Amino acid sequence: MVYGAAVLAWTVSFMTALVLLPPGAHTTAVAHADSSSVTVAGPQKWDPATQTFGDHGTVSVSQTQNLTDQVVHISWTGFTPSTGPVVNIGGIGWQNVIYPVIVYQCRGTQPKITDCYGSTHYGQDPAKGFLQANQDTGLTIPDFPGNQRAAVTHADGSGAMDLEVYTANESPSMACDVGHPCSVVVEPLYGGDSLGYDTSDGSPDCSDHANDAYAGGEATGGVIGGIDNFDFGSGEQCAWNYRTVIPISFAPVPGACTAAATDVLSEGMPMLDRALTQWVVGACLSGSNPVNVIDSTTLTEPSARDDFLAGQPGADVAFTSRPADPAASSAKPYTYVPVGNTGIAIAYYVDDPGTNLPITGMKLNARLVAKLLTQSYDTEHLPSQQVDIASVAGNPQCLFKDPEFLALNPANGFTWPSCQDVDAMSTLPVVAGGKSDLVHQLTAWIAADPDAAAFLGGAADQWGMHVDAYYKTSAYPFPIDSFIPQDASGPPTSFDGTPIDPKGSNRDYGRLKSYEWNPIQSGLDDVVRHLIQNTATCQSPDFVNNTHAKCNAEVIGSRGLLAVMDTGRAAAFSLPTAALPNGTGAYVAPTVPAMTAAAQDYVTDTATGTQSLPWGTAHTAYTGDAAAYPLTLPAYAMAPTSGVAAAKATKIADFLASVTDNRSGQMAGTAPGELAPGYAAITADQAKQAGAAITKIRQGVPGGGPTVTVTATGPVPTGGVTGVPTTSGTVVSTPVTVVSNGKTTVYQITSTINNNNGGNGNGNTGGTTAAPAGSATGSSSSKGAAGVPSSGTTRSLAGSTAPAAAAVGAAAPDTAGPARYLLPTLLVIGVVLVAAGPAGLLLSAPGGLGARLRSVRPRPTRRFGK
């Protein structure tokens, strides 16, 4: 049997995905299943003891329709159990594993081996199939890195793995898109003489299993790239006979929309782009009222807000999580439309060094996250060193040696890796550079935590760890808008105490810390790409061949990687995510129910009408909600309320109405127009605000003027805790805050609940009275559709408080004075309080627009001076 160098290189690269797992284990968190999940009959199980085939197994794929660049979960039952040594996957022991399973993504629904991305024959003549020499390694993966995976079958006949499926953007040669379905192929290696060991003419004989089960035998992973006596790449030929093919189809992308004039141009919020993709496609494909939207989520929120306020032509709408400065001038009056709820997730791949299995449970608190984001670990320290880096001297070498982390995450049946197992520098999180709301909100959450704030201020934790001296609050105060490494220091000498050679390979050790952490400037897509390719952002400080090499990718089984991203990406790629402590101290993972709970706890900024979680504020709904995920963020569309053509305003309103409609944009799913996985639908209060804001967009408000914000609030009882509106019999009295020209006035508004004894049909018979009162904050009470108190749980009004229709921003000073706003304001107040609760308009949306993930070059191994 002859193996070429190219074949060996391909096999090693391919089979580094192979890891022996116990029954029920997964390579990552299981990808979400949807209504298009499929289970089909698999091949017959091969019984090596009797040399016969038995019953058919099954193969399942978690999602087969409306796919994007994402991860799907693949599982099987009734397969032949894999046997062979349990080895560190970074080694070559995989070649002796018998009966592994290979999974491909292939073009077409009836693929040949030449259609399967990464196979040794990909792109070759389909008529020849296995009867041709293996393809050069570089040609088997001409587009993105190979996504083919290998796994094992457990003793009970089951197995599972996660596969990233590529669209035409990632792999133009496969060209999987809405018009070109593809396939997932699951191929167990059940042996057979594929290389012609025992045939007289050297041709394959797949019925001959005599040579299956031995080192390098025909049922082992090492035979896949095998070449027969005719120099044909026939090693996989017999395994291909046992394949199961499951067709998969892909969601339309904005490019699939019929060419038409652009109706709306929008910018901003990379955290929302997977939702926006589905919304944008759903809007343009709408048969009754199509809206053509071109969205640029490569721009972060600060840039989008600036462009919108300046009236830039590409920013009809800006998507944002944080409001613009209410005092900033604006080309047009505008409002905020809630369109959904996203979140910040800390995803990770960390493997148990004893079993090489992924660890799937991790807790992080605000102080631990602060340590990671301030380079506070002494990543280059080893006990044998004679010198250390002063800025972090005495600190643990990495997260997995930090006593605080170990106390929070006691090992129970597994082992955390050592800082040498995973390379300490690689444990610093992969993050996106540039100004963004994600960075601001994450660091604001950290700054609101007393322990984290004290640590950043210079106070050591109870185990003696201190912040990197260059990140102290006095020099680098949180919150920040962008991650900018601050520490470029290093040891005064080489680690053995000898002087640093100014011309040697260690010439840059004096600024060693500058090589350990490098925020990615190409966006969140590249953050995900680095994580799933197991690649940190560090570099070797060794200067070799006139360069500093990038750190090598970590091998599966020896990983210790973390990354900061949005919940939409984490869900799409089925990434395990850390649980974080909320206002009650409970540790919660970023699930959609947890984000939905948090959104109910938002409080309202009366200056802008936008909402956020009240981190660090006592006596709020958030501090009593153990179910809430703490890094949940609202997503808003900044949209003009006047100053645009009527046709443009109508299209903007139509698009936002489809996004916020609970029959489309807020309905969870993967189809165009639905709410993508990883996002939570808007709450009833947010829906009320959205409906009122969209009405303003449709109507248009002539002229400009000062900020007018209408907020229904609860009274403030003894102790200062916001409560519910006061009810006496059928009369409800609710304070309403009106901010006009910077002056705040609180009116007491009364309404009457109808007990089905007459009234106006909306459940109210009373009117309103306005009497200035002391200022308050909070929200309107929860009511049923007819204004009758809901039978469900009523949250404290310190929680979610949605303004009725907050128009903010001014194009020019208001020459008419504040009186012109009195009647519209009172009318809005009347509408809010007559309804006495949610307007019933529930709107939502899914998505995934914006930049696609880019490939990352392999990185050389970083080991120096140790």
**Distance from C-alpha of 17 to C-alpha of 806, rounded to nearest angstrom:** 53
Closest CA to 382 of 427, 418, 429, 426: 418
Indicate the average pLDDT of the chain: 80
Token pair in block for residue 83:
């046997």
**Distance from C-alpha of 181 to C-alpha of 809, rounded to nearest angstrom:** 47
Q: Give the 3-state secondary structure of residue 345.
A: strand
Angle at 527 between CA 525 and CA 531, to 5 degrees: 120
Contacts of residue 611, defined as CB under 8 A and 6 or more positions apart, other chains included, come to 338, 602, 603, 604, 605, 634, 686, 800, 801, 802
Of 115-119, 148-152, 177-181, minimum mean pLDDT range: 148-152
pLDDT of residue 35: 80
**Distance from C-alpha of 344 to C-alpha of 66, rounded to nearest angstrom:** 25
**Is domain 5-248 annotated with CATH 2.10.109.10?**
no
Single-letter amino acid, residue 605 = D
pLDDT of residue 490: 92
**What distances in angstroms separate CA 78 from CA 25, 153, 243, one per listed residue?**
16, 9, 14
pLDDT of residue 736: 44
Sign, CA torsion 651/645/841/685:
positive
Would you place residue 819 in the very low, low, confident or very high pLDDT band (cuts 50, 70, 90)? very low
Closest CA to 625 of 589, 590, 599: 599
Q: Give the 3-state secondary structure of residue 829.
A: helix
Residue 509 phi, psi dihedral angles, 5° rounding: -65, -25
Whether residue 26 has pLDDT greater than 50: no
Would you place residue 31 in the very low, low, confident or very high pLDDT band (cuts 50, 70, 90)? low
Q: Extract the runs of DSSP E, i.e. beta strands, from 435-582.
A: 539-544, 547-550, 560-566, 580-581
**Distance from C-alpha of 62 to C-alpha of 485, rounded to nearest angstrom:** 40
Strands 159-165 and 70-77, by their bridges, are: antiparallel
- Cβ burial of 665 (10 Å; 0-12, 13-18, 19+) is buried
pLDDT of residue 198: 87
Of 210-224, 465-479, 685-699, minimum mean pLDDT range: 210-224
Token pair in block for residue 356:
């090489």
Question: In residues, how long is the chain?
Answer: 866
Of 448-457, 581-590, 729-738, minimum mean pLDDT range: 729-738
Closest CA to 711 of 802, 613, 809, 586: 802
Would you place residue 748 in the very low, low, confident or very high pLDDT band (cuts 50, 70, 90)? very low
**Distance from C-alpha of 119 to C-alpha of 133, rounded to nearest angstrom:** 12
Whether residue 821 has pLDDT greater than 90: no
What letter would DSSP give residue 540? E
CA dihedral 714, 716, 718, 721 (to 10 degrees): 70
Q: Give the 3-state secondary structure of residue 801.
A: coil
Closest CA to 111 of 187, 166, 35: 187
Residue reference for tokens 């949250």:
795
Strands 38-47 and 52-61, by their bridges, are: antiparallel
**Distance from C-alpha of 422 to C-alpha of 17, rounded to nearest angstrom:** 17
Q: Which residue has the higher pLDDT, 727 or 823?
A: 727
pLDDT of residue 94: 57
Token pair in block for residue 653:
């309103």
Find out whether 136 and 119 touch, Cβ atoms under 8 Å: no
Structure confidence by residue, pLDDT tens digits, 231-250: 999 999 999 999 999 999 99
Rg (CA), the chain: 30
Contacts of residue 498, defined as CB under 8 A and 6 or more positions apart, other chains included, come to none
Residue 95 phi, psi dihedral angles, 5° rounding: -65, -20
**Distance from C-alpha of 454 to C-alpha of 445, rounded to nearest angstrom:** 14
Residue reference for tokens 């090992």:
411
Find out whether 65 and 48 touch, Cβ atoms under 8 Å: no
Q: Give the 3-state secondary structure of residue 225.
A: coil
User: What is the maximum span of the chain, computed from C-alpha positions, in angstroms?
Assistant: 102
Structure confidence by residue, pLDDT tens digits, 675-712: 999 999 999 999 999 999 999 999 874 433 333 333 33
Would you place residue 828 in the very low, low, confident or very high pLDDT band (cuts 50, 70, 90)? very low
How many other C-beta atoms are found inside a 10 Å radius of the C-beta of residue 585? 9
The alpha-helical segments, DSSP class H, found in 160-300 are 237-240, 273-284
Whether residue 517 has pLDDT greater than 80: yes
Query: For the chain, which residues make up each domain, given as ranges?
Result: 5-248, 344-572
Closest CA to 845 of 614, 670, 586, 690: 670
Q: Which residue has the higher pLDDT, 790 or 261?
A: 261
Closest CA to 57 of 190, 225, 221: 190
How many other C-beta atoms are found inside a 10 Å radius of the C-beta of residue 848? 28
Of 26-40, 381-395, 420-434, 633-647, minimum mean pLDDT range: 26-40
Whether residue 801 has pLDDT greater than 80: no
Please count the helices (runs of H) and the strands (runs of E) in the chain.
Answer: 16, 26
CA dihedral 651, 656, 659, 661 (to 10 degrees): -100
Cis peptide before 541 (omega within 30 of 0): no
Of 354-358, 622-626, 638-642, minimum mean pLDDT range: 354-358
Closest CA to 295 of 847, 842, 853: 847
pLDDT of residue 273: 95
Q: For residue 692, give the H/E element and its range.
A: helix 684-699
Closest CA to 629 of 690, 542, 566, 560: 566
C-alpha 776: how far from its chain's center?
Answer: 36
Q: What is the pTM of this model?
A: 0.79
Find out whether 185 and 243 touch, Cβ atoms under 8 Å: yes
Structure confidence by residue, pLDDT tens digits, 317-326: 999 999 999 9
Find out whether 517 and 392 touch, Cβ atoms under 8 Å: no
Q: Which residue has the higher pLDDT, 488 or 84?
A: 488
pLDDT of residue 259: 67
**Distance from C-alpha of 329 to C-alpha of 431, rounded to nearest angstrom:** 32
pLDDT of residue 115: 98
Whether residue 177 has pLDDT greater than 90: yes
Q: For residue 648, give the H/E element and its range.
A: helix 646-659
Q: For residue 456, give the H/E element and its range.
A: helix 450-456
Whether residue 476 has pLDDT greater than 90: yes
Q: At what angle do helices 366-373 and 437-447 cross, to 10 degrees?
A: 130
pLDDT of residue 33: 60
pLDDT of residue 492: 87
Q: At what angle do helices 646-659 and 684-699 cross, to 10 degrees?
A: 170
